[in-house]
Amino acid sequence: MRFACDLHVARRRGAMSAAPRHGGPPRGRAGVLRGGEKKCSWASYMTNSPTLIVMIGLPARGKTYVSKKLTRYLNWIGVPTKVFNLGVYRREAVKSYKSYDFFRHDNKEAMEIRKRCALVALEDVKAYLLEECGQIAEVKVSSPDYPERNRENVMDDFLKRIECYKVTYQPLDPDAYDKDLSFIKVINVGQRFLVNRVQDYIQSKIVYYLMNIHVQPRTIYLCRHGESEYNLVGKIGGDSGLSPRGKQFAQALKKFIEEQEIVDLKVWTSQLKRTIQTAESLGVTYEQWKILNEIDAGVCEEMTYAEIEAKYPDEFALRDQEKYLYRYPGGESYQDLVQRLEPVIMELERQGNVLVISHQAVMRCLLAYFLDKSADELPYLRCPLHTILKLTPVAYGCKVETITLNVEAVNTHRDKPSLNSNNLPAGQTPVRMRRNSFTPRASADTVKRPRHYSVGSKPLDLLGPFPTLEARDGADRPQLQVGVQRMAGLAV
C-alpha cells in the first residue's frame, strides 16, 4: 500500500467572501488604523481576500500532515490560518464509529450526515474568515479514528474505507475540467508537483513551502552559544566572546554531538563571535548565517536591563506590554526577526540533520515555528544557556527533548510581568508602537493577529504559571524549570 500518493490541494478564491469587510486599504483588522497604512505581518499584506485551501485526496495520503504543517507555517509568518477537519465534525454528529460501512458511497443515510457535516463546517469557515479576521481556512475531508482497536482489524477496515472513496474519486484534472482552478497537486510525497494558476503572493509562498518540505526522518538540534562575557555582566546584544564556562559548554557540546552519532550533521551559526566560537570547538565544518544574528536592540545594545529601565523607562514598559511587536529604537522586534528568519526555516525544511547554534530571541522564534507557539508566547519561551533542544518530527508535530549539559550559566530569561506592575493606567488604548526611528514618535502600528489552533488540538502549556512581580528580574525559578523539562517531552 506504500505511497501511490495522490494528494491534491486546491484553492478556491473568494468563494466564501470577496467583499472587503470594513472598506479602506487595511483589510478589516481590529485595532487602531491610520490612513494609508497596512497592518500586520508583511506576509499578510500580500493577501487581499480570504483564501480557502481545500485538501483533496484519498485517505492516508498525508492530507492532515500537510494541513497541520502548512497551518503552522502560515501562522508563524503571520497569516492567521485555521484548519477545519471534517472528520471532527463527523465524529460530533455520529458519536461512535462502527465500521467502514459508513463510508460506502451507496450508504444514503451516511452520505446525508457527511454532507450536512460539510455544510456546517463551511459555515464555520465563513464565520472564521469573516468575523474572526482569519485569512486562511483549510478544510480537511477525512481523518482516521481508530482509538484502541486491534491493529489488523484497523488496517483491514481502513483499507476498505479507502476503497469506498476510490469508487467515486475524481482527481483534479488540469487539462480540462479543472483548468481554471488554482491548485497544486502533490504527487508521490513531493517527488512531483503540478501547479495551476497561482494567483497571488500567498499562493506562491504556499507552493514554495510545499515543494520544500519532506518526510524523511531527521533531527534538528537547537541551542544557544555558550555563556558569553556580556551574559556574565547582564549586557544584552553586542559581539562578545565566550566566558570560561561558555568554553566549557562548547567542549561539552562537542562530546554530546559525538555521542549522538548523527549522520551527515550540518552545523549552522550566526555571524556573531560567540556562536562561531562555540562551533569551532566541534571541529567540524559549519556555515555562518548573518540572518541568525541576535535581535538588534538598537540604542539599547550592550546595556543591561537595569540601565535600559533607567535611561529609557517608557521603552522598557512598552516592551513588557507587547514584547512580540515591540521594536527597539533603531533596532528590531520579534516580528521583524520572524521575517528575517524565514529563509532559515525554509532551508531547515529542506535539510536533514541540522544543529543550529544561535541566540535567545532567535531560538525562541525557531522553536515557536516547530512547536506551533503563538506570537503571545513566543517571546517568553524558555531557551536557557547550555541547554540543547532536540526536535524530532513525529506524527503531526514535533517531539522535543531537553538536554541540559550540566555546565552552569547565568539565567537570561525575563518573564512577562503581571499587568498591574506598570505605570500605565488601566483602560489604555492599544499600545502605540515605534517605527524604526531614533526620535520617539507615537504612531499606531501593527496589531497582533489572534492565533487560532486547529480544531481538535489543544495548545501546549510550555510556560508554567505566570510569575509574580519578584520574578521580573529573571531570578531563578527552579520549579518552573523542572516543569518545562517535563512538559517539553509531550508530543504536540
Partner 1 sequence: SPARELTQNPLQKTWEPYDNGLPAGHSAQRGVCMTNCPTLIVMVGLPARGKTYISKKLTRYLNWIGVPTKEFNVGQYRRDLVKKYKSFEFFLPDNEEGLKIRKQCALAALNDVRQYLSEENGHVAVFDATNTTRERRETIYKFCEENGYKTFFVESVCVDPEVIAANIVQVKLGSPDYVDCSNDEATEDFMKRIECYKNSYETLDETLDKDLSYIKIMDVGRSYLVNRVMDHIQSRIVYYLMNIHVTPRSIYLCRHGESELNLKGRIGGDPGLSVRGKEFAKSLAQFINEQNIKDLKVWTSQMKRTIQTAEALGVPYEQWKVLNEIDAGVCEEMTYEEIQENYPLEFALRDQDKYRYRYPKGESYEDLVQRLEPVIMELERQENVLVICHQAVMRCLLAYFLDKPAEQLPYLKCPLHTVLKLTPVAYG
Q: Which residues are catalytic?
A: 224-225, 231, 274, 294, 359
From 81-89, 162-170, 201-209, 352-360, span contacting partner 1 (CB under 8 A) = 201-209
3 binds partner 1 (CB under 8 A): no
SS3 140: strand
Looking at beta carbons only, is 212 or 418 nearer to partner 1? 212
Q: Quick one: which of 83, 121, 137, 250 contacts partner 1 (CB under 8 A)? A: 250
CA nearest to 72, candidates 471, 470, 454, 347:
454
444 binds partner 1 (CB under 8 A): no
312 binds partner 1 (CB under 8 A): no
SS3 132: coil
Report the site for partner 1 in 133-172 (rule: CB under 8 A). Answer: none
From 12-20, 32-40, 160-168, 367-375, span contacting partner 1 (CB under 8 A) = 32-40
Looking at the DSSP assignment, which residues form a beta bridge with residue 355? 221, 267
Q: Kindly give the pairing relationship between strand 220-224 and strand 354-358.
A: parallel
Alpha-carbon span 93 to 88, nearest angstrom: 9
Q: Kindly give the pairing relationship between strand 387-394 and strand 220-224.
A: antiparallel
435 binds partner 1 (CB under 8 A): yes
From 75-83, 121-129, 384-392, 437-445, span contacting partner 1 (CB under 8 A) = 437-445
Neighbours of 290 (CB within 10 A): 9
CA nearest to 225, candidates 384, 348, 442:
384
Alpha-carbon span 67 to 63, nearest angstrom: 6
E strand or H helix that includes residue 356: strand 354-358
Q: Quick one: which of 14, 25, 171, 313 contacts partner 1 (CB under 8 A)? A: 25
For the packed helices 334-350 and 201-212, what is the interaxial angle rounded to 10 degrees? Answer: 40
For the packed helices 108-131 and 86-93, what is the interaxial angle rounded to 10 degrees? Answer: 120
Alpha-carbon span 255 to 253, nearest angstrom: 5
CB 137 within 8 A of CB 129: yes
Output the smallest distance, CB 374 to partner 1, in A.
22
From 111-119, 132-140, 196-204, 376-384, span contacting partner 1 (CB under 8 A) = 196-204
Q: What track of x and - describes contact with partner 1 for positions 382 through 411 (by CB under 8 A)?
A: ------------------------------
Report the site for partner 1 in 281-300 (rule: CB under 8 A). Answer: 281, 283-291
Output the smallest distance, CB 270 to partner 1, in A.
10
From 146-154, 342-350, 394-402, 455-463, span contacting partner 1 (CB under 8 A) = 342-350
Q: What are phi and psi of 300, to 5 degrees?
A: -90, 0
Report the site for partner 1 in 76-135 (rule: CB under 8 A). Answer: none
Alpha-carbon span 226 to 279, nearest angstrom: 10
Q: Quick one: which of 5, 10, 33, 45 contacts partner 1 (CB under 8 A)? A: 45
Alpha-carbon span 233 to 9, nearest angstrom: 52
Output the smallest distance, CB 16 to partner 1, in A.
24
Angle CA(51)–CA(190)–CA(369) in degrees, nearest 5? 60
The contacts of residue 180 (CB under 8 Å, 6+ apart) are 197
Alpha-carbon span 99 to 277, nearest angstrom: 59
Q: Radius of gyration of the chain from Cα atoms?
A: 24
273 binds partner 1 (CB under 8 A): yes
Neighbours of 171 (CB within 10 A): 13
Report the site for partner 1 in 343-372 (rule: CB under 8 A). Answer: 343, 347, 350
Q: Quick one: which of 204, 428, 468, 479 contacts partner 1 (CB under 8 A)? A: 204
Looking at beta carbons only, is 27 or 323 nearer to partner 1? 27
197 binds partner 1 (CB under 8 A): yes
325 binds partner 1 (CB under 8 A): no
Looking at beta carbons only, is 268 or 380 nearer to partner 1? 268
Query: Total residues contacting partner 1 (rule CB under 8 A)?
Result: 57
Output the smallest distance, CB 37 to partner 1, in A.
7
From 59-67, 130-138, 335-343, 385-393, span contacting partner 1 (CB under 8 A) = 335-343
Q: Which residues bind partner 1 (CB under 8 A)?
A: 25, 36-38, 42, 45-46, 174, 191-198, 201, 204, 207-208, 211-212, 239, 241, 247, 250, 268, 271-273, 276-277, 279-281, 283-291, 301, 330, 336, 339, 343, 347, 350, 435-439, 441
